[in-house]
Amino acid sequence: MGSISSCSVVCIGSRKEKRRGRRGWTMFNGRMLNIIRYLKSQGESTYREMAKELGVSERSVRYDVDRINDILSLEHLPEIEKHSKGLLTYPASLDLKGLEEGNGVVYTGKERMSILLLLLMIRNEDLKINKLSEQFGVSRSTVKNDMAALDEELKKNEMGIGYSGHFYLAGPKLKRTTLMNQEFRKYIDYLINPFTNYNSYEFYCIHIIHKAFEGVSIANVVMAVDGLLEELGCTLTSSSYLWYMSNIVVLVWFILHDKEYPLDITVMPEFDREIYDRFAGKLEEIIGRPVSEHHVYMMAKMYDFTNKMTGSGAEVDPVHAQSVTFSLIAAMSKRLDMPFDKDRTLAEGLLNHMIPLIQRIRNHVEINDHMISLLGPEERKLYSVMTAVCREIDTLKDTANEDEIVYLTVCFMASIRRMKSAPYKRVLLVCGHGYGTTTMLKESLLSEYQIHIMDTIPIYKLSAYPDWAGIDYVLSTIRLNNSLPKPCIVVNPILRPEDKAAIEQLDIPRKTILSGFYSIEEKLGFLDEATRARVMEVIERELGYQTVKEVHNPKSFSSFLKFDCIRLTNEEYEWKAAGRESAALLEKRGFIDSTYTENMIEFIEEQGFYAVSDDSFALLHGKGVEGIHQTSLSLLVSRQPVHFGEKKAKVILCLASRDSKEHIPAVVTLMRMVKTTPLIHDLELCSSEEEIYQTILNCEFQVL
């Protein structure tokens, strides 16, 4: 990796000894020399302290100290003194200057650029010209020239060097992570094997990496990964092993520094969850940080990539392969105005194909199956678009081979056909939290997913449900103990990210063009009311659209929310106080009495905070109609977030409904406002009750 000129050679013995005929010069490697320097500066240190400071394992320090003493003994020089409890003392009579004389390290320009790149990626907080000049033993102008040369190299890959009080690596996160994986792979051999001899340039690079891991033993991480691979029964080639190990090490760095690793996991391979959970537990012990479920998924995804590479000779970084894949999908989506990014099957197929494709491009390998002759007129049009799009993407721009482009074309054509024929899933909805939250859930499901809700039932009717043949999936807001003949998942009444992920795992497709359904009617305003209604009916039928049907003579959200039932407050509330305060607004108007208020608090304590959308809003309500005199809403907007367990919200709504249906239009309108307008954001910025009321009217106008 480094040139001979960069080796740290320490010549032991005086000129007199050399003249007496010693057969050669004894060498310390860079790591050994740094141990001597450190111990000299401290006077004394323990193995553990030295290992932590130098960023190596304690075992490595012990090994190196023994080797140092062996060399010193051979040369009849005083040795490092060993004491109890791992304490080491530098021998006072050992001349460090004599050891180092004539052995100053001079890095080549290429080596300095490699060191700079590492520093830019993982330790850039103090990266300044003066300090670098001192570290490298070169002039400021030399460092500037190195920076300029590195910047030019980085620009070839849409990156560069920025400055904001210190130098940093600039560019897209995906590309920066890909580069980091590539650089770590250069040093992974040395990180894996602490007994490897290396020169001072290599030692310096490894020292930088170790320091960036905040005292965590990379050797222990490696042993844990080895255990994982053994449990998985995996046999990897040497290159695949190093590739996988370097990616896991980089992921650990991201975890330690609380940074998000940009590997997409929407397309998840099958994996042994129990084995990975055990590995995550071991890793947590080693690094002293939590390893999330998301991190586990990423490690499984990396392993899937590694398996695909084994035997192919490919060494394509998963983040890079993903970046190219998503760039292609985004470019085709834009060019054809189609939501290819919603097609998980397309993403999975392209990701699997991208690794060997990139490798063929790099190695100038062409396939000649003459597949273009098989394309029909429609496919040929798409082929022309694909050819143009590939030219816009760095990694694919050199793809001149017709068959490669034909394959990509076929993938996207299959996606187009899937979109045209995506089936609607038949869903049975089981609810146990009242009609208000049921309505919110139905509105979210029907607006976001291609489903037909065949029925909505309470849990006590589930065992006697008569038509399981007409159901694909069961979605429930409460946990079900009984075994069902159809797949079932539990979701929150206000859908959370984990709910949406679970729904998509059932292969329930998201809506694409249908997502704009609410705005279609507005755009048909030039038609008379009767014609517009007929057109909307045709659109519903043709698109298979389904929505929450509102009752006759529907009332708007604002019709249930009186102006004097709105309050803006600067006070800090716990959730019960916030609930009582919002209910008090309805009590004051005579819409409810205190019976309903206490009923509501008790109901929330029993059922939990299912009707709280974190960092958005809370819709509080009780059970039954006792204490309710009129269907109504109140709104409390707090400057301080109100905590509902682990959730929090500043917008608190209190709902009281005399029956099971009267409030449904208001709840449907609320959900549409939340999903399609900046309602919550704008409410939090309001400075008066008047402004709050006007904001509601404005947002309501947009969805009605």
What local confidence, expressed as pLDDT, does residue 15 receive? 32
Nearest to 420 by CA among 544, 566, 530: 544
Residue 171: other Cβ atoms inside 10 A = 16
What local confidence, expressed as pLDDT, does residue 562 receive? 87
Mean pLDDT of 275-300: 88
What local confidence, expressed as pLDDT, does residue 513 receive? 44
What local confidence, expressed as pLDDT, does residue 567 receive? 94
Residue 4: band (very low, low, confident or very high) from pLDDT cuts 50, 70, 90: very low
At 505-525, the pLDDT tens digits run 787 877 654 334 444 555 566
Q: Is the pLDDT of residue 361 over 60?
A: yes
Q: Is the pLDDT of residue 311 over 50?
A: no
What local confidence, expressed as pLDDT, does residue 140 receive? 83
What local confidence, expressed as pLDDT, does residue 665 receive? 73
Is residue 665 within 8 A of residue 550, CB to CB? The reply is: yes
Is residue 683 within 8 A of residue 612, CB to CB? The reply is: no
Q: What percent of the chain has pLDDT over 90?
A: 10
Q: DSSP states of 106-125 as a string?
A: ---HHHHHHHHHHHHHH--T
Q: Which of 70-74, 368-372, 493-497 has the highest mean pLDDT?
A: 493-497
pTM greater than the 0.85 cutoff: no
What local confidence, expressed as pLDDT, does residue 551 receive? 37
Residue 194: band (very low, low, confident or very high) from pLDDT cuts 50, 70, 90: low
Is residue 75 within 8 A of residue 13, CB to CB? The reply is: yes
What local confidence, expressed as pLDDT, does residue 103 receive? 44
CA 593/CA 608 separation, integer angstroms: 23
Nearest to 562 by CA among 593, 591, 599: 591
What local confidence, expressed as pLDDT, does residue 670 receive? 84
User: What does each C-alpha distance from 462 to 99, 428, 506 come to in angstroms?
Assistant: 84, 10, 21
Q: Is the pLDDT of residue 363 over 60?
A: yes
CA angle 127, 145, 104 (to 5 degrees): 70
More reliable by pLDDT, 622 or 530:
622
The partner residues of 455 in beta bridges, in order of sequence, read 428
CA 358/CA 395 separation, integer angstroms: 7
Residues whose CB falls within 8 Å of the CB of residue 386, separated by 6 or more in sequence, listed in order: 332, 405, 408, 409, 412
Nearest to 487 by CA among 477, 473, 476, 501: 473
At 145-186, the pLDDT tens digits run 888 899 888 888 778 888 777 788 888 887 888 888 888 877
What residue has token string 């709902």? 655
At 623-640, the pLDDT tens digits run 888 899 988 999 999 999
**Candidate from 141-145, 347-351, 683-687 with smallest mean pLDDT:** 347-351
What local confidence, expressed as pLDDT, does residue 580 receive? 94
What local confidence, expressed as pLDDT, does residue 633 receive? 92
What local confidence, expressed as pLDDT, does residue 596 receive? 93
More reliable by pLDDT, 148 or 101:
148
Question: How does the average pLDDT of the chain come out, rounded?
Answer: 77
Is residue 55 within 8 A of residue 210, CB to CB? The reply is: yes
CA 624/CA 648 separation, integer angstroms: 26
More reliable by pLDDT, 661 or 398:
398
Buried residues in 98-127 as b, exposed as e (16+ CB within 10 A): ebbeeeebebeeebbbbbbbbbbbbebeeb
Residue 20: other Cβ atoms inside 10 A = 9
CA 668/CA 693 separation, integer angstroms: 18
CA 18/CA 21 separation, integer angstroms: 5
More reliable by pLDDT, 102 or 280:
280
The partner residues of 82 in beta bridges, in order of sequence, read 88
Q: Is the pLDDT of residue 42 over 60?
A: yes
Q: Which two tokens stand for residue 191?
A: 């990180």
CA angle 69, 74, 80 (to 5 degrees): 20
Q: Which two tokens stand for residue 693?
A: 């009321």
Q: Which two tokens stand for residue 427?
A: 């869903």
What local confidence, expressed as pLDDT, does residue 333 receive? 85
The phi, psi pair for 561, rounded to 5°, reads -110, 105
More reliable by pLDDT, 472 or 189:
472
Mean pLDDT of 80-91: 89
The phi, psi pair for 171, rounded to 5°, reads 135, 175
Q: Which two tokens stand for residue 336?
A: 């054809």
CA 87/CA 47 separation, integer angstroms: 7
